[in-house]
């Protein structure tokens, strides 16, 4: 078989079981592609020895007949996941040299299922960013290109998106705090699933905002997302927010039959100044679902307009608390001290050197909104708004809506350097369609559904009921089938 790295998880699983290929061959094909793709900046730590050892073990399992669906599948792992004995830096200078003595629950679940780790993937520092430009490693680059413009793969899971879109791995792990799986998936023409908060364990995932963070799969198809989520998910007693719920066979629920399902179209997502091509994509997506037998219903989520400001109070507040532990005392970077410097100077210099500008900005915002005199005015008010946003969704689902269709992003991928430092608020607006899902703890998925006028991928988002990832994946599967998106970036790297 040629072009093994281009296979989907489902195709590779079937080929492995038939004996048409081996995990070692799959892994070697991906490692070869990774070596030739340095220009994408996707992989920041390569682990070929670990990968080949895991691949040999997977082949032995397959031979013995003990082969879960993910057995032998080569993956990229976002640098936010702690991986035992392998650098896990969250793309930050402050975690320089950190090699955990433990494995995150999600990666352990994947390895227990026989998956293969090709290496660690680039991302925005501490998952704070929408363009992968805040990474200490330098930015990842979108495999899609217009003329000579280098485009962002999105963020924070930009390395994951770039690696999957460029066929450097069969799939990748991502994390989503305000859209960090779904936005890069939309920008690179892949599928990105953010599960219900609590479906996947957060243990061993470097924390950004603990009430919002959620791990999920980034894949080449909806079927692959269903297969991979089944391996990632599960109750974890080490994570107090992990749900003690059985994990369904998500793949078995992919019938493509959505007859009679009610799909909501929220009026509040029609933003002023929305590009015509995004509006058209959204309309076309609704018509595709209607043609597949779904009922399209206009709905209202009245507190949507407050979601972005509420998110950018809550997330930095939680980040300022979570990042207080990085002080140069126990692990990671420690600043060189001058004669007479004390513990306070060590903290200040270490954090000033170790954190990038965006992380510093969010830590300062978070500390401000939690400070005496401002806690009620900002943080407490944002929490109340969050409750109202969740209530909007609860009321819509109580009226029989099965899923909600929205655009995934307000535009196609933009050029690197076009937004980053010049206007951080403009960058934050990239999350306008995605943050509500995190604030309400709901599952959401981005499905590639068309191309922009410039020939760049555009994604549609489906939002589901809590814990109904199976139903959501089936609706996404129907949308994927109808959209028929098969475009791939032309290789330039």
pLDDT category at 431 given cuts 50, 70, 90 is: confident
Q: Is it the case that residue 421 has pLDDT exceeding 70?
A: no
Tokens of 294: 């779904």
User: Whose structure tokens read 């501490």?
Assistant: 126
Residues 465 and 471: beta-carbon distance below 8 Å: yes
Residues 159 and 112: beta-carbon distance below 8 Å: no
Catalytic residue among 23, 104, 131, 156: 156
**pLDDT given for residue 429 in this prediction:** 77
Rounded-to-integer distance, Cα 228 and Cα 382, Å: 34
Alpha helices, DSSP H, located in 79-221: 105-112, 158-165, 182-188
Helix (H) or strand (E) holding 24: helix 23-35
Q: Where are the beta strands (DSSP E) in 259-380?
A: 262-266, 295-299
pLDDT mean across residues, the chain: 96
pLDDT category at 428 given cuts 50, 70, 90 is: confident
Cα torsion angle, 30, 31, 34, 36, sign: negative
Residues 359 and 125: beta-carbon distance below 8 Å: yes
Distances (CA, A) of 244 to 46, 247, 301: 34, 9, 29
Active site residue 180: yes
pLDDT digits (tens, 9 = 90+) for 20-54: 999 999 999 999 999 999 999 999 999 999 999 99
pLDDT digits (tens, 9 = 90+) for 83-117: 999 999 999 999 999 999 999 999 999 999 999 99
Active site residue 23: no
pLDDT digits (tens, 9 = 90+) for 234-248: 999 999 999 999 999
pTM to 2 decimal places = 0.97
CA neighbours closer than 13 Å in the CB half-sphere of residue 49: 2
User: Whose structure tokens read 């992968």?
Assistant: 132
pLDDT digits (tens, 9 = 90+) for 461-485: 999 999 999 999 999 999 999 999 9
Tokens of 17: 């079981």
Catalytic residue among 23, 78, 320, 475: 78
CB-based contacts of 263, cutoff 8 Å, min separation 6: 286, 289, 294, 295, 296, 297, 401, 402, 403, 404, 405, 475
pLDDT digits (tens, 9 = 90+) for 452-466: 999 999 999 999 999
Catalytic residue among 92, 104, 180, 320: 180
**pLDDT given for residue 12 in this prediction:** 98
Which residue in 308, 262, 269 sits closest to 439, CA to CA? 308
Residues 190 and 219: beta-carbon distance below 8 Å: yes
Distances (CA, A) of 325 to 39, 150, 208, 330: 34, 36, 12, 9
pLDDT category at 271 given cuts 50, 70, 90 is: confident
**pLDDT given for residue 420 in this prediction:** 57
Of the candidate ranges 70-84, 326-340, 407-421, the one whose mean pLDDT is the lowest? 407-421
The region that residue 127 occupies, defined by phi over 0 for left and psi between -120 and 50 for alpha, beta otherwise, is left
Rounded-to-integer distance, Cα 430 and Cα 313, Å: 16
């Amino acid at each position: 078989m040629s072009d093994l790295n281009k296979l989907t998880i489902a195709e590779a699983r079937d080929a492995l079981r038939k004996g048409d290929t081996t995990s070692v061959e799959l892994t070697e094909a991906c490692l070869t592609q990774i070596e030739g793709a340095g220009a994408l900046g996707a992989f920041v730590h390569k682990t070929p020895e670990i990968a080949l050892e895991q691949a040999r073990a997977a082949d032995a399992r397959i031979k013995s007949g003990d082969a879960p669906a993910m057995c032998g599948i080569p993956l990229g792992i976002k640098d936010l996941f702690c991986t035992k004995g392998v650098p896990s830096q969250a793309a930050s200078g402050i975690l320089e040299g950190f090699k955990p003595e433990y494995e995150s629950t999600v990666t352990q679940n994947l390895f227990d299922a026989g998956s293969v780790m090709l290496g660690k993937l680039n991302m925005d520092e501490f998952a704070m960013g929408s363009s992968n430009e805040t990474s200490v490693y330098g930015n990842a680059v979108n495999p899609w290109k217009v003329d000579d413009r280098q485009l962002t793969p999105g963020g924070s899971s930009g390395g994951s998106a770039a690696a999957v879109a460029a066929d450097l791995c069969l799939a990748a792990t991502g994390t989503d705090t305000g859209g960090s799986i779904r936005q890069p998936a939309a920008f690179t023409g892949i599928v990105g699933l953010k599960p219900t908060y609590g479906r996947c364990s957060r243990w061993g995932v470097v924390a950004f905002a603990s009430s919002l963070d959620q791990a999920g799969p980034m894949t080449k198809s909806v079927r692959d997302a269903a297969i991979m989520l089944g391996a990632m998910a599960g109750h974890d007693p080490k994570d107090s927010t992990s749900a003690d719920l059985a994990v369904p066979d998500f793949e078995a629920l992919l019938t493509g039959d959505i007859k009679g399902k009610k799909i909501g179209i929220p009026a509040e997502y029609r933003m002023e100044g929305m590009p015509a091509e995004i509006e058209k994509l959204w309309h076309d997506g609704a018509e595709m679902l209607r043609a597949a037998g779904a009922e399209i219903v206009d709905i209202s989520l009245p507190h949507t307009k407050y979601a972005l400001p509420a998110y950018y109070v809550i997330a930095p507040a939680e980040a300022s608390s979570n990042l207080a532990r990085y002080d140069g005392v126990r692990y990671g970077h420690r600043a060189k001290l001058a004669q007479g410097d004390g513990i306070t100077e060590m903290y200040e210099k270490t954090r000033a050197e170790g954190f990038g500008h965006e992380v510093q900005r969010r830590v300062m915002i978070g500390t401000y909104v939690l400070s005496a005199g401002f806690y009620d005015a900002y943080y407490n008010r944002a929490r109340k708004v969050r409750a109202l946003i969740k209530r909007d969704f609860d009321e819509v689902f109580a009226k029989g809506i099965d899923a909600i269709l929205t655009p995934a992003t307000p535009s196609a991928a933009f050029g690197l350097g076009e937004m980053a430092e010049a206007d951080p608020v403009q960058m934050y607006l990239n999350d306008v369609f995605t943050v509500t899902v995190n604030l309400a703890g709901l599952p959401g998925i981005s499905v590639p559904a068309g191309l922009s006028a410039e020939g760049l991928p555009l994604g549609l988002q489906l939002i589901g009921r809590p814990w109904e990832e199976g139903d959501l994946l089936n609706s996404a599967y129907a949308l994927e089938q109808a959209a028929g998106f098969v475009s791939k970036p032309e290789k330039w790297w």
